[in-house]
Structure 1
């Protein structure tokens, strides 16, 4: 009897590993296909030129960025293309993660996971778009106007890539604040009233985090801190509705 149980447990474990492998392969294929499409059109060079536009717009007329590495002109656009491919394929990647855990969830739990996957993807991409279209231009303009006239500003493309990746990641993660609030309330980890009571501390914390992860200028700090606070307020508004919509039958009774 015990042998049958052990064999069943082992087979179940192996089947879960096979399922996990298949989901990882599908997620990787999705990223690879998106990367291949971006390689064909518009191409790595055009993608990097698009990402470099906020910096180039803030430089003097005719100024360009520089590449100090031998293979940087090839390697950096390829890295950017892979990064964009991952972000565009993020909903597919998160769907594979959801599909892996969904069979073991109750119906009310599935109601919890699916909206979180969709909202997390949209909020992360929204944070990246907010950073690119509304923040970069103002930050680069402020920095270049602050630079002394004796300095010729010619950013290195690798340093620029590192900077925009860190900034986009910071804003993408910051825009996940409503999801964090909803999860904390739905899982019963922190009561909604407690989250409302610590609102003032959250505002101070938002400005502290913004001062750490953004350049030392007031424009970029406010550009990160204010959305973080407003998204926290949005999470407080959405959390009760989400909790009510995803209650188990026993909880409703």
Structure 2
């Protein structure tokens, strides 16, 4: 019983250590970004520039909070490789040697996929989403966008698309650990296709068919590629 309690305590100490390292890293980058955040804010305002809408604030603290918020979200994105490595370091004691090697080799891939997802969401999906929401609201309301709400929306939106781009990696990882197989993924392929187009329909209701298909294509291509990657891994295991 004592050994079990010690192992649990050690486990919690390890978790605290990884969290502290990640938080200190994020905080440090937040401070650095905050000094030059006006450049980032100018970039984030570009999607609404064509609507000629000015951002406003309703509380005296909104200016400071929104600037801090943008800096924090930027820091979370910039430090994602370190955060991911800390998560893997925490999980590694419970994994086999081969699984550890597989995870650490793919830290860079995970980080790149996350960054691509963020850029994809900001450049391709976000302008059409904002266009629809602003046009819909303007049909019976006069737009006055709160700066803090606007930056919060963009931050959450881009973080979400970044996580979506990690979806294929998670499937490959689960396949590597034999928790799923290519047959299961093929079985649910039609549901993924329907779900992808339903989600794109929500975000891009006013976009043209070409943009609509282009926006949904990465998810479907990634899913199909994942099926084949897991399939070939299964065949390789069968030959070993």
TM-score class, shorter:
0.7 to 0.9
Between stretches 201-210 and 148-157, larger displacement belongs to 148-157
Question: For residues 5-154 of structure 1, what are the structure 2 equivalents within 5 Å?
Answer: 6-40=1-35, 42-43=36-37, 45-56=38-49, 58-60=50-52, 63-141=53-131, 153-154=143-144
The CA distance in 2 between the partners of 1:149 and 1:113, in whole Å, is 50
The CA distance in 2 between the partners of 1:82 and 1:131, in whole Å, is 18
> Is residue 192–residue 236 contact of structure 1 (8 Å, CA) maintained in 2?
yes
Partner of residue 230, structure 2: 239
Partner of residue 175, structure 1: 165
The CA distance in 2 between the partners of 1:94 and 1:149, in whole Å, is 43
User: TM-score scaled by structure 1?
Assistant: 0.78
> Is residue 181–residue 230 contact of structure 2 (8 Å, CA) maintained in 1?
no
After superposition, the Cα gap between the structure-2 partners of 1:106 and 1:185, relative to the gap in structure 1 and judged at 3 Å, is closer
Per-residue deviation at 1:232? Answer: 1.0
Note if 1:196 corresponds to 2:186.
yes
Question: For residues 154-165 of structure 1, what are the structure 2 equivalents within 5 Å?
Answer: 154-165=144-155
Q: Is the partner of 2:178 in helix, strand or coil?
A: coil
Per-residue deviation at 1:236? Answer: 2.0
After superposition, the Cα gap between the structure-2 partners of 1:84 and 1:244, relative to the gap in structure 1 and judged at 3 Å, is farther
Q: Is the partner of 2:59 in helix, strand or coil?
A: coil
Deviation by residue 1:81-115 (Cα, 9 ceiling, x = unmatched):
11110111111011112122323432111133224
Deviation by residue 1:146-194 (Cα, 9 ceiling, x = unmatched):
7869976442213312321342133122212212321342233332133
Per-residue deviation at 1:252? Answer: 7.0
Deviation by residue 1:218-249 (Cα, 9 ceiling, x = unmatched):
4586554222112212222333456678x6xx
> Is residue 117–residue 158 contact of structure 2 (8 Å, CA) maintained in 1?
yes
After superposition, the Cα gap between the structure-2 partners of 1:226 and 1:187, relative to the gap in structure 1 and judged at 3 Å, is same
| RMSD, matched Cα | 3.1
- Number of residue pairs the alignment of both structures matches: 238
